[in-house]
Chain A
Amino acid sequence: MSKETRIPKQPAVMLEDEIAQLAKEILPARDLWPGIEKAINEQVPEAKTQNTGRVFMPTAWAASIVAAVLLTWLAISPNSAQLNSADNIATVMQQDFQQQKHRMLVSFGMPDIKQLPVAMQTELIKLNSAQKTISQALVEDPNNSDLLNLLRWTQQQELELLTQLYSPQWQSI
């Protein structure tokens, strides 16, 4: 009976009080300005679309090489038993990647890829093509760590490319 004398909402009230008392400002342990100052003094002016083409040419080359190597590998590799792709790790990785990509595009306001310069669209198409080729190879050999690493690498390249292409837009709110 004595339990009825307790105030049921006490922990909630206590939490609200604690939240209200949280410091709005926290002092970092080290001086962050020198690093910032160094970075902004070393920056070159942004030239968004014009420069990004040059920046990502190595990515396109690498993606092409990956695709070519894998096509060769597929041609000469022995046929192994077909596995259920829904169960392998590559499928999970691709699903995770697609979710991450979607989340990223949502955060950028779902930009229209077709509005990009042709060179950038080509980069994305090549990366996508490389991912498909690798995924196809992984159906044959689902536990091949080299292929899994390649798939992961192409996914990261695509996400980094999207980040660099679109990240300026959400900052212009």
Chain B
Amino acid sequence: MRVYFLDKLKIIEEVEPASLDLESQWIAQAQQGDQKAFYALYEKYYRRIYALCWRMMADKDSAEDACQEVFVQLWQKISNFAGESKFSTWLHSVATHIVLNHIRKNKSWLQRIFSIEEQVLEDTLVEMPDTGHYLDSKIQQLPERARLVFVLFAIEGYRHEEIANMLDMAVGTSKAQYHRARNLLQASLSE
């Protein structure tokens, strides 16, 4: 397979999905400062990373900002990737931490004290990207902690122990929030 970079790094021809060998090549080149190779990695992963950001943040603009931050930090830190895990796994882990930090940074101390985020966003008009999926709209309306746990567990495949560590909560709390999210979603789907 060959990939042609023309017109300011735009990939105009990609015959088939990039093989792992080609991805390894892109990673190695990006680690050497090759921006074209980095763009190829961006092209391959940005939609997946944006999906993660958007589902966790429930806000289109914040998700776009976070997604950009993920790739800017990826450019800075890609030399740290030693190939001990799959690149996609590593990237998702990096992205998850960045999104969580983004959420924490943007929350006022008043919100943290009074848990404003725990309100269900039933009446909030959520600006939806065109996923064409009803469940996505319902995930966006979950209370924040329930939403984060649900996305990380049910969609991203993290274990409750990992989620509890990331969100600084007990494992039991993570499980409880997950079941809370499930109950709310099931109720929504049954309406």
Contact = CB atoms under 8 A, between A and B. Distances in A.
Contacts of B50: 25-28, 32
Contacts of B68: 32, 35-36, 39
Contact of A32 (B48, B67, B80): B67
A99 B165 CA distance: 13
A89 B113 CA distance: 9
Given A22-B133, A27-B50, A36 B71 contact: yes
A108 to B, nearest CB: 9
A76 interface: no
A25 B53 CA distance: 11
Interface residue tally on B, bucketed by range: 35 or more
A173 B90 CA distance: 7
A75 interface: no
Contacts of B166: 107
A171 B73 contact: yes
The B interface is mostly helix, strand or loop, or mixed, namely helix
Nearest to B183: A11
B61 to A, nearest CB: 9
B64 A18 contact: no
Interface of B: 35, 38-39, 42, 46-48, 50-51, 54, 60, 63-64, 67-68, 71-73, 75-77, 80, 82, 85, 90, 93-94, 97, 100-101, 104, 109, 112-113, 129-136, 154-155, 165-168, 182, 185-187, 189-190
14 contacts: A11-B189, A11-B190, A12-B186, A22-B133, A23-B132, A25-B51, A28-B60, A43-B72, A92-B113, A152-B109, A167-B101, A171-B97, A173-B85, A173-B94
Given A11-B190, A23-B133, 5 more contacts: A26-B51, A32-B67, A39-B68, A107-B165, A171-B77
